[in-house]
Structure 1
Amino acid sequence: MNHFSLRGDYRVQSRRDYAPSALEGEWYCDHGLVSNEQINGALRRHPRWAGHTRVSLLPVLVSRRSGKFASEPDILYKRDLFIPEPGADGMPADIVDVLKSQQNWLSRARYIKALFPDDFPRIFRYLCHLELIIANEYMLHEAGHFLSYDVFTKQRDGYFSIAGKTAWPLVYLEELRADLNAFGFAVQLLPQEQAAQIFLYNLMLRFGVHREGLLSARQAPYGLVPYLLFYLLYQLDFIAVWELRGRYCFTLGSLDSQNLIEVMQACALHAEQQLNTPEMAVRSPLDRAIAAARYVRLRLDHHTLTQRFASVMNQQAASKEQS
């Protein structure tokens, strides 16, 4: 691992104000880490890659952070949003703050335990070597954005904006699309157990952040992403809602690695058939946005599943969720 030190002005993507900020630590290295070269090779081989977007992402172990790097919850630091001090090093790529993400995971564990009381002990044991899982999940998710009608082209086309306002359902669907595409890359590039870890970590991340946000701030940081993922996994018979001692909880199907791989493959196939292919079946950004909005609307209109999801997520805090 090599030491790095970055000093300059930084802003997060959701705000316009810059502030003096610094980041110091080590570039993360592990023999199991998916490299930019590996994931970009997988992109080049994929028939849905348009040929002009590549992953440029580096995971880091931060020992000191200040300014926006410390005050904002973001885990991903964008190279284009960092202005180095005169004569100082710039960001060589976008950066993933692995240890901040790991700390968030540990503080969020009580919410995950309440959501998945039966499955939590095995999930927690399954997700060992968390630093590597976090780093790889970010690498794979980033690549998931770059298939078919890629996220950068969508941004340039104004796909996510209607009459000057952000079309949040389309933003949330793009995040789901990246997740599902990433599951396919994980199965392709990682040993079976490591690939399955990516899936379980992503599921716990999406659901745990959602529950934490609702209880702590009455916000849904990932918007519709957790529900859309729940909807798909419910259709695949991998997740169900049940009642335990007067509270609603989620329960999962078999956590055997082979079964998890099959679920991941089904998710990636769903993305290909229901998201990637329809995006490319029409030419105009508006028609593509309409098709995506129809996908979301269909799932929101399934009132039985919206109610089942809400019965778990919207109930009052359990004692184990209270700090």
Structure 2
Amino acid sequence: AVVMSVQNSIVCNSIYKFGTEIQREQFLKPLASGKIIGAFALTEPDAGSDPVRQSTAAVKDGDNYIINGEKRFITSGKNAQTIIVTAKTDESKMHKGISAFIVQKGTPGLIVGNIEDKMGLRASDTTDLIFENCRVPKENLLGKEGDGFKIAMTGLDSGRIGIAAQSIGVAQAALDAAVKYAKKRKQFGQPISKFQGLRWIIADMATELEAARQLMFFAASLKDRGEKYTTQASMAKLFASEMVNRLTAKALQIHGGYGFIKDYPVERFYRDARVFTIYEGTSEIQRIVISNNILKDNRSPR
């Protein structure tokens, strides 16, 4: 799911919105068809929540740009054939001096790091990407010079709906597993699903899950209608990602000791859920985005 979210919500969306007709034909069609895998390289060792401070730079050299720098925690970094990379083209302009480039796998100077040994989401590869005098043709500039930060933020808005959907999927699986286990596990001569305390936990889990689902659907519907959805995307991502951490913990608790061993899937759900409050903008960043937009408009986001 995380691979598809990055591919569709960020990579495809960015090329669709900001790419030229030639770029759409060359890159978007094979990406959208699933023939190739895409990646998005924004985060750096010293620039995570503050991407404006990134140090990766691109210098114009005739008909090319030469990129130098390092990107960190790149989903599909090992397997991606097409990578959107942000880099500074004008240090003096802060966020308006960041540009975006389409870099192909195998380009000289692009070095793929080792796959990280992660706590969860182990089915997707996560690597560093190092650029050492990586020469990219000027035709691979996405948008105009200085559009990189806008492209990244637009992609993250879309991606945050995807993270909310991922969170809901894991939470639904955790709830289903908890219900199945509660119906068959017996204590004190009856299924534990008969105990009122557990039934209330299940009720709260289902209610939180459905609330997250509706937040996600609302943000997605705004995007589909071409309306502003930044605030709602952050709301959906914030609530759903924190919800799934609560639900997977409750599902594990319902399983008791069995939830702590790998014979049951809830331990995996618990591990997978942890990153949802971190990547594509931490919970703290989502609260900043939401509050800034509400206070700027001086009204409710609806």
Normalised by the size of structure 1, how large is the TM-score? Answer: 0.27
**Bigger Rg, which one:** 2
